[in-house]
Structure 1
Amino acid sequence: MSEEQRNLDRIVRKLGVGNMVELLAEQISGSDLNTLLLEVFREKTKAASAADLLKRYQENRFVKPAEVNPLQMKQLELDILNIAQEHLFAPVQLSPIAPLGSCSIVAAADQNKIISALRGTEVVADATNLLALHVSDGLKSGTLDNRNGFVRFSTTHRHARAQKFKKAPGMLPHFHLFCMVSSGVDQGSYSFEISSFWEHIQVFQHMFQSLFQSEIEVSLSVRGGYKDPEDLVRRILLHAERNSINVAASINPMKQDNQYYKGLQFTIIANIRGNIHQIGDGGIVDWTQQLLGNKKERFMISAIGLDRLLL
């Protein structure tokens, strides 16, 4: 039994309502649950003092400022977003909150590693999930069209995740990510997958060459979810050879079960001030397929951590 389950059992026994979780999750609506919890938190805060508030601040790892220099971070964000825009990835300023379940419903993430909130929301734990919702909403409403060309977006965003990180530079309870997404439809011959992959890689190559005078390496991993993912990865590398794309790319021979990426996952490796970092990753996901109920939809995502580039 996990520690979370033991704690839950203890709480249920203390309150004397054995099926409390089922009652709250299944017997009342989301809006009614929100009303109930709002009142609980109002009573909790009404009973707390200023000293209690300071103690909470001191004990809560999520609320402390980051170590990174904010001026350097803002400048890096501007530089990166400008480079991405040169490559046709339109910048988007996302909300700090997302709909509840944005990561766990389509991406099989653990909801307990997300900071869930009231009013049907959660703190953004992965901006690419929120971008997938933004794109899907636009495609469904008709304000976006990916049938005659890719839809491309980029963003920088401060993320928070409710999971333990080892103490290491850039491994923080809240952190900045630069993210890109590409949306298209299946045209056959892996045309979306090949083109969108190299578009993402060329943005990262431009970024690291310009801002850090560094070259990148790309490690490609085969993932399930495609009929022949090995052929997909082979064609991606063949495209680079035929088009003289000068990026060091290799195939990771290790095969692992992965419910996140479909067909392909890639890792960005960079040398920053003499240190080798696996600075980010990306790949193909089926989120827009799920959101729109259309197997023809294709979606490529990528992200790199920015704090580690400055610490």
Structure 2
Amino acid sequence: MKPKLSGDLERILNRLEKSDLITLLTEEISGSDLNTLLLKVFNEKARRASPNDLLKRYTENRFVHPAKVEPLQLKQLEMDILKVAVNQGVSPLQLSPVAPLGCTSVVGTVDQNKVISALRGTEVVSDATNLIALHIADLIKYHKTSRENYMRYCTTHRHVRAQYFGGSPGMLAHFHLFCMVTSGVDQGSYDFEKKSLWEHIEIYRTIFKSLFNSRIEVIFSERGGYKDSAGLISRITDYGESLELNDVVISTGSPHKENQYYKGLQFTLKTVIEDEEYYIGDGGFVDWTQKMLGTKKERLLISAIGLDRLLV
């Protein structure tokens, strides 16, 4: 199939008089040969650059500048949050700065152009939950762990995303997230969905109560992907009420059934710290491990909160 080209790509290919170059590079040579070719291209680009060129690239490239957040405060916040998660049975991971090429776009609905693709079959991590999901699928497929219990992992990680927001407040080229991923298998009656989701909420409740003396509001929004998404939310809400977490406010948001990223339910986390309102994170169920392992019995819950905004 001939790839669909943007106007800029057509202009470049016409200038090179190589209208079939994209097809040749993607279909006619192996991934290792493509990597060899690109390594040479970038090696030559770097060899021809001067120190002044390097400084100019640094000045003009929004992805490479330091964050405005205070480093010691951020590191302390990471430690405090990870300790909360560990105390509630979640295992921390120190992830690689890079993920396999296509980590966000192959199983999710994210455009690859929103990611910084790299050499050697990698891309810069733009969503740590994707990489944790791959780690979980690898453990399951190659029998490196028991499936008797839920698999619970978390991390704090700096993310890079390539889309440009035009300088919108809070929209950063790179930013820190605390992420959690829980994996299990379908036991019927939405058992995994109820228990895993409220485990995540309980951890966020503890984080904001203990570190910021604030309460959280959890906003449930219906998504497609389950036969009875409304029933799923109802069962999860009833289960949460039975836990009697009176300082957690539950509300309902607008349905987003057309958005296929989350399945069945998305939850948004809202809090107020020193009279400032934050929509600080979200989460929901995804089908990534189902796709990677080829079984509908797999269940996966992901969630994350932003850390930079809590300190800037």
TM exceeding 0.5: yes
Give ranges in structure 2 of 5+ residues lacking alignment.
none
The corresponding residue for 1:309 is 310
CA RMSD for the aligned pairs? Answer: 1.1
Residue pairs, 1:39-78, within 5 angstroms: 39-78=40-79
1:103 is aligned to: 104
Per-residue displacement from partner, 1:271-309 (whole Å, max 9, x unpaired)?
A: 122111110000000000011111100000000110000
With the length of structure 2 as denominator, give the TM-score of the two structures.
0.96
Aligned residues: 307
Deviates more, 1:121-130 or 1:42-51: 42-51
User: Is 2:190 the counterpart of 1:187?
Assistant: no
Could you list the structure 1 runs, at least 4 aligned residues long, displaced by more than 6 angstroms after superposition.
none
Q: For residues 43 and 168 of structure 2, what CA distance do their matches in structure 1 show?
A: 37
Unpaired runs of at least 5, structure 1: none
* Shift, 1:167, TM fit: 3.0
* Letter paired with 1:178: F
Q: Tell me if structure 2 keeps the 8 A contact 1:169–1:308.
A: no
CA distance in 2 between partners of 1:70 and 1:168 (Å): 23
Q: In structure 1, how many angstroms separate the alpha carbons of the residues matched to 2:242 and 2:70?
A: 42
SS in 1 for 2:96: coil
Partner of 1:209: 209
Shift of the alpha carbon at 1:170? Answer: 3.4
Distance in 2 (alpha carbons) for counterparts of 1:72 and 1:10: 47
Aligned amino acid, residue 150 of structure 1: Y
Moved more, 165-174 or 28-37: 165-174
TM-superposition CA deviations, 1:217-253 (whole Å, max 9, x none):
0000111111101000000111122231321111113
Residue identity matched to 1:45: A
Can you list the C-alpha shifts for 1:2-39, whole angstroms capped at 9, x where unaligned? xx811101100110011111111111111000000000
Q: In the alignment, what sits opposite 2:237?
A: 237
What is the deviation of 1:179?
A: 0.1
Cα distance, 1:145 vs. partner?
A: 2.3
CA–CA separation in structure 1 for the residues paired with 2:161 and 2:26 = 23
**Does structure 1 residue 89 correspond to structure 2 residue 90?**
yes
Post-superposition CA distance 1:21-76 (Å, at most 9, x none): 11111111110000000001111111110000000000000000000000000000
Query: C-alpha displacement at 1:169, in angstroms?
Result: 4.7
Distance 2:129 2:57 in 1: 31
Taking the TM superposition and a 5 Å limit, the aligned residue runs for 1:116-127 are 116-127=117-128
Q: Is the 8 A contact 1:38 1:118 kept in 2?
A: yes
Instruction: Give TM-score scaled by structure 1 length.
Output: 0.97
- Distance of 2:167 and 2:277 partners within structure 1: 18
- Please name the residue that 2:27 is paired with: 26
State the alpha-carbon separation in 1 of the partners of residues 287 and 255 from structure 2.
22
